[in-house]
A and B are shown apart, each in its own frame.
Chain A
Amino acid sequence: MIQETKIALKNAGKIDPMSIDEYLNSGGFQGLKKAMHIEPVKIIEQVSDAGLRGRGGAGFPAGMKGRFTDEAICHYCGPKYLICNADEGEPGTYKDRVIMEQDPFLLIEGMLISALSIGAGKGYIYIRGEYTESIRKLKNAIDQCYKKGFLGKDCLGENLSFELELRYGAGSYLCGEELTLLESLEGKRGYPRIKPPFPAQKGLFGCPTLINNVETFAHVPYIIEQGPEHYKKFGTEKSPGTKIFTVSGDVKNPGYVETEMGVTLEQIIELCGGMKDSKPFYAALLGGAAGTFVNKEVLQTPMGFDTLKEKDAILGSGAVIVMNTERSIYDMMESILEFFKHESCGKCVPCRVGTNQLLIMFHQMVNQAKGDRAKMLEKMKQEAEYMAANSLCPLGSSPILPIGSISKYFKEDF
């Protein structure tokens, strides 16, 4: 059986998350210390060289994002912003919560290094409002960092200050989408923005902004401390490093595991004690609602951004919902379609009407005979394809992921 490999969770469970001293004693802020003696663009280079890809789900190269932000000409000569997206809302996903609850200082260190790299003076953690425990711990961590001088005036060196604030999401799934998150942070209603401009050019309050996911930031101190070459030893060539998988459903020991990228789904299930009651594996939903269903064909596929893509599946946020043969793909599908309808903001027509339309079609389908159901599934796929091509933000482009993957891997059930 494979072993867990811990980067983001290296301190989890080992230190008191309420104590900055314990964090320091366990080697905390070493990455930051090192970063303070590196030229900012070199920090971005190292993150780039490490091949770190965004852990929020899209897998966009983190270094590239940083470089864009760094190079952006600030039109208003105003500040640059650094934002941590902690609005973890993808069903089945709770990796960020684990980091924030068990090692909040690591997140702050990652943000501080990133702030140095792009020259940001102000940062926000936009956190899911329901994460009361994470909020409590982060608040404490931020307080302690201010007291110890890791945050605040000149914390990153002479004339290099960094202020960090917590902001709470109010329960909208869409606010986890980075441009919608910016609207929400600005105090507006959570509607997606038109892209371009990208946050790197014109983000929060129209200023260059770097947004990363909690887990992404949590990798940064390690990369700086150990160097990109060391980091790249973990994972696969195109998806280096580790990943936290949050496993739920029909496994013996549901929970989170941090492993190297590239382990297989089968190995992850094994790490979680195998299938519950030894019932046969039927399906897994990878990446949450905006994710893909896979069947046993994918059990041996290495879990990486590109390797899964070859199988028309996605890694996404690292959520893994495992189902045994007693489960119905229809139930899952209905709950996902309801979820999309509920969370569609309504700004653009394809998503607003389409998410409702898909649910209507689904309800028609379940009453149909086999064969007709397959035809309806095809029609639903076409609707979802239209939505993906015509919608304003990633939410409208999402239903094609579960529907397309059901059509690919579970056609015989229709």
Chain B
Amino acid sequence: MKKTVTITIDGKKIQAKEGDNLLQTALDNGIDIPYLCYHKKLSPTGACRMCVSKIEGQKGLVMACTVNITDGMVVTAFDEEIETARRHTMEYLLAEHNDAYDGTFYDELYFLARKYDLEDPVDRSYPNVYKQMNYPVDDTSPILTYDASKCIKCFRCIKACDEVQGKNVLSFSERGITSYIIAGMNNWGESECDGCGECIQLCPTGALVEKPHRDEIRINKLDRHVQTTCPYCGVGCQIDLYIQNGKILRADGVENVMPNDGRLCVKGRFGYDYVQSEDRLTKPLIKKDGEFVEASWDEALDLIASKFSEIKKKHGNEALAGYGSAKCTNEDNYIFQKFVRMVFGNNNLDYCTRLCHASTVTAMLKSLGSGAGSNSIEDFEATECLFVIGNNMIETHPVTATYAKRGKYKGHKIIVCDPRWTKMVDYADVWLQPRLGTDVALLNGLIHVIIKEDLIDKEFIEERVEGGMEAFNALKELVEKYTPEEAERITNVPKSKIIEAARIYASASTAMISTGMGLSQQVVGTHMVFSLINMMLITGQVGKESAGIDPPRGQNNVQGVTDIGVSPINYPGYIPASDEENRKKIAKLWNVEYESLPSKPGLTTVEIMHGAYDGEIKGMYIMGENPMMTDPDLNHTGEALKKLDFLVVQDIFHTETTPYADVILPASSFAEKDGTFVNSDRRALRVRKAVEMPGEAEEDWKILVNIAERMGYNLGKYKNAKEIFTEIAQATPIMAGITYERIKKEGVQWPCPTRDHPGTKTLFLDRFKTNSGLGILNPVHHSEQKERATREFPFILNSGRILYQYHTSTMSRRNKALTDFANRSFVLMNPIDLEKNGFNDGDKVKLSNNRGELETFLKSSDGVAEGELFMPFHYSESQVNRLTRGELDPYSKIPPFKYSACKVEKV
């Protein structure tokens, strides 16, 4: 804790913290010392010299931004000499600066120029020299323009890229007055810049301005700013939308609030244009004679109500099923599960989490009693060791990765475990590269080393693990055979690295595990997570701050949708469907007979599809999901959807799934409604309406209430999303203390059981959520995959994501900035395989197996091992899931997206 001291600024006594930044303290206390190069998030630079001040006892002028506060400090922030110096500096800045202003950015320099009566060039003393300097303009980036003539060389962009985002792309070229910013070795377009735009956000002048909508946006003509939550991954970044003429023209990160503290990635900053795409669905569509024709809402909803009622009558409750959506708000999804439970009368409801995190959640539930991430995003920076496994964080959760990188710069350790090279490897102390599907053997190998070198936390095992040392001994016995040599034989990871990683993880004062799809999307997914948790429990790397296990959620609201009960087994708040007391409570809240609420577990995502294929499921309601891209073995999925008697798809665009629908309903995007998302660190965050819905599109929850009504059910008379949230809080004990008022500015992390509860940053500090309150070891053996590379299908195909596209790319691909960066499918192949097969980099190839085929382009990369391939799953013209299989992990029912044998042929 920093000591509180008293300082004096211009005669005003101020309580401050010893060692704090003087400029920031002054600003926080309403003393507006001018500055340009300073930013709260950055280390002090001392370049602009605007914050000159005097400190009693110190010679000459000092820069307030570079002063650390000491007790009794007496500061002069304003006097004639200081103001004269500042005005002089301002004159200098304006002398090398191009004044042209096109109205497309906030100009801090101009603001200060006005303060010193220098906005008019006739009032200035020095000749302007910017034209003689031949300052360049760099227009090569898809997302920004850099104009050196407007640059004041304040270093904010360089430090934004370096200190905040950990990317180090920017620096100065030239020296002195002719210096200017360059990206990489030459220009932005050719550099490693990935387009996050942090530099633009922190630029105090118009040197860096966003390209998209620059011709439209005029800062003084904005209607308003709206703070909301990013619709892409599960980090839940807070974004500030600039609205002009009812259109979104810009997005900035919101400073000073968690989880992102102003940071965004390229998708968050430049990915909003899909909202205003011309492709949006604007009217209900009904399939008539194989063609979709526009219909009125009444017609569409009546048809849906009658069809569902008919199926229910004819085939019984169990013949209906629904997919909720991780893209929709908690409010939408809460109404959705209420709809399925009340109107369909079953628990056949699930959503995409089954395809991402089911195995992680299953294993965590069994071992720890909760499937949610145990930590908070800032712990990625604070933890001494970050164990990243099967998680391509820099591309999939870029803002979480910024915290990890900052931790690394502080000297913390990072271990990356991934069968292919990811950008995170550049930051790693150790990279473990196991053969695809061999993680259990690798993790057992790590556990073997930890036990052998006595790096276990005996006290923790005795106090917090069920069965204590006895349970531990069972694990010890099981891993006995996984010597580093044996682990190396199975996984291909050198034993020295296994030993090194084990030591780093176990000996760190705090270590955090960050899992990902690479681990979970496997037929042995649950086992892999068990293994990981075993390692965590025996080393005591959980149950304290900055330690634990965190599976970052892939979509904006994956966490929330499960929290509020879109689950075949759980009601809101993870309360099992079988819990009678809870059903009674819910029945009362919903104003229905408790006997009518289904208690039997329903079908999961892929099981629903299997059910449709087998004719057991006759009618389906799909809200904002695209199974014809996301489900495994797509040919099979297509057959299943065709067999349905009636399918409703509610979405904002036509997708690969909508052609199978009988009715398509135009829904609302994140920017058009109020609501909440819950992010990966269990933070309930506000979503706010920023623009109007296009055409006759409607809020998702309203559509559901309407259909229910037509089927004779009253889901509730809600006036707005806020009222739904109030009910969510009543139905969901972990969120009982959260209200819209509380999360107005910043989210609150559940569990938050009461209004006065501050929310929970770290889970499992005192006990686990299992019945006994203890963690449970689940020793598991490595098992060989059924699917194998064969002579016919010699390659193992891995699939995953890239930074610039998102999920099935229905949203991301409708943003020019994003498609400018990446818009073509590819498959990565090791150069040795390329040579062996006579392929060339860039060749168009066909990938196929018994389940299907696809065409894509070869990319040579030694980031994948020989015999292995990697391909992003975003592109509809090259659907990876034509090749994946529906064989499920027996425990969690997750399909193995990461492991499909196939062959490759030149087209």
Which residue numbers of A lie inside 8 Å of B, CB to CB? Answer: 172, 189, 194, 341-350, 352-357, 360, 386, 389-392
Contacts and interface: CB of A to CB of B under 8 A. Distances in A.
A353 B93 contact: yes
- A-B CB proximity, top 9 nearest: A353-B92, A344-B176, A346-B179, A346-B176, A194-B66, A356-B177, A194-B46, A390-B49, A349-B92
Contacts of B61: 389-390
B7 interface: no
Contacts of A346: 153, 172, 174-179
A349 B153 CA distance: 9
Contacts of A354: 92
Given A352-B153, A357-B92, A345 B49 contact: no
Contacts of B92: 349-350, 352-354, 357
Contacts of B88: 350, 386, 390
A201 to B, nearest CB: 12
Given A194-B66, A386-B85, A353 B177 contact: yes
B171 interface: yes
Given A172-B175, A353-B177, A392-B49, 11 more contacts: A194-B66, A341-B176, A344-B177, A346-B172, A350-B88, A352-B92, A352-B179, A353-B93, A360-B129, A386-B85, A390-B52
11 contacts: A172-B175, A194-B66, A342-B176, A343-B175, A346-B177, A347-B155, A349-B93, A356-B96, A356-B177, A386-B88, A390-B88
B779 interface: no
A342 B175 CA distance: 8
Contacts of A390: 49, 52, 61, 85, 88-89
A356 B44 contact: no
Contacts of A360: 127, 129
Interface in B88-110: 88-89, 92-93, 95-96
B47 A348 contact: yes
Interface string B144-181: 00000000110100000000000000011011111100
A79 to B, nearest CB: 15
B60 interface: yes
Interface size class of B (residues with CB under 8 A): 20 to 34
B328 to A, nearest CB: 48
Contacts of B48: 348-349
B47 A355 contact: no
Given A342-B176, A346-B175, A353 B95 contact: yes
A414 B88 CA distance: 26
Contacts of A342: 175-176
B713 interface: no
B126 interface: yes
Contacts, number: 85
A359 to B, nearest CB: 10
A357 B85 contact: no
Nearest to A357: B126
A172 to B, nearest CB: 8
B61 to A, nearest CB: 6
B362 to A, nearest CB: 44
> Which of B85, B127, B177 has the most C-beta atoms of chain A within 10 angstroms of its own C-beta?
B177
A386 B60 CA distance: 11
A189 B46 CA distance: 16
A350 B89 contact: yes
A355 B176 contact: yes
Contact of B177 (A352, A386, A391): A352
Contacts of B155: 347
Interface string B27-48: 0000000000000000011111
Given A189-B171, A342-B176, A389-B61, A349 B127 contact: no
A348 B48 CA distance: 6
A355 B178 CA distance: 12
Given A189-B172, A194-B66, A341-B177, A349 B85 contact: no
A357 B176 contact: no
A342 B178 CA distance: 10
A342 B95 CA distance: 18
A31 to B, nearest CB: 36
Contacts of B171: 189
A348 B46 contact: yes
For B52, B93, B126, B178, the residue with the greatest tally of chain A CB atoms inside 10 Å of its CB is B126
A345 B171 CA distance: 13
For A172, A189, A194, A341, the residue with the greatest tally of chain B CB atoms inside 10 Å of its CB is A194
Most buried by B among A189, A349, A360: A349
Contact of B175 (A345, A348, A349, A389): A345
Contacts of A353: 92-93, 95-96, 126, 177
Interface string B646-675: 000000000000000000000000000000
Nearest to A192: B46
Contacts of B172: 189, 346
Nearest to A352: B177
B175 A344 contact: yes
Nearest to A197: B68
A392 B126 contact: no
A392 B96 CA distance: 19
B49 A356 contact: no
Nearest to B174: A346
Contacts of A391: 49
A100 to B, nearest CB: 27
Contacts of B174: 346
A348 B45 CA distance: 9
Nearest to B158: A189
Nearest to A388: B60
Contacts of A343: 175-176
Contacts of B52: 390
Contact of A356 (B46, B89, B129): B129
A348 B126 contact: no
Nearest to B61: A389
A353 B153 CA distance: 11
Contact of A348 (B49, B60, B96): B49
A343 B392 CA distance: 44
A357 B175 contact: no
Most buried by B among A189, A345, A389, A391: A389
A103 B155 CA distance: 43
Contacts of B60: 389
B47 A356 contact: no
A67 B66 CA distance: 25
A386 B90 CA distance: 13
A350 B153 CA distance: 12
Contacts of B127: 360
Interface in B73-88: 85, 88
A346 B129 CA distance: 15
Interface in B42-68: 44-49, 52, 60-61, 63, 66
A37 B171 CA distance: 49
A389 B49 CA distance: 10
A353 B48 CA distance: 11
Nearest to B60: A389
A322 B44 CA distance: 43
B666 to A, nearest CB: 54
Nearest to B50: A349
B49 A349 contact: yes
Given A356-B176, A386-B88, A392 B47 contact: yes
Nearest to B46: A194
Contacts of A392: 46-47, 49
B46 to A, nearest CB: 5
Contacts of B179: 346, 352
Contacts of A194: 44-46, 63, 66
Contacts of B45: 194, 347
Contacts of B85: 386, 389-390
A390 B54 CA distance: 12
A349 B89 contact: yes
B155 to A, nearest CB: 8
A131 B561 CA distance: 69
A44 to B, nearest CB: 26
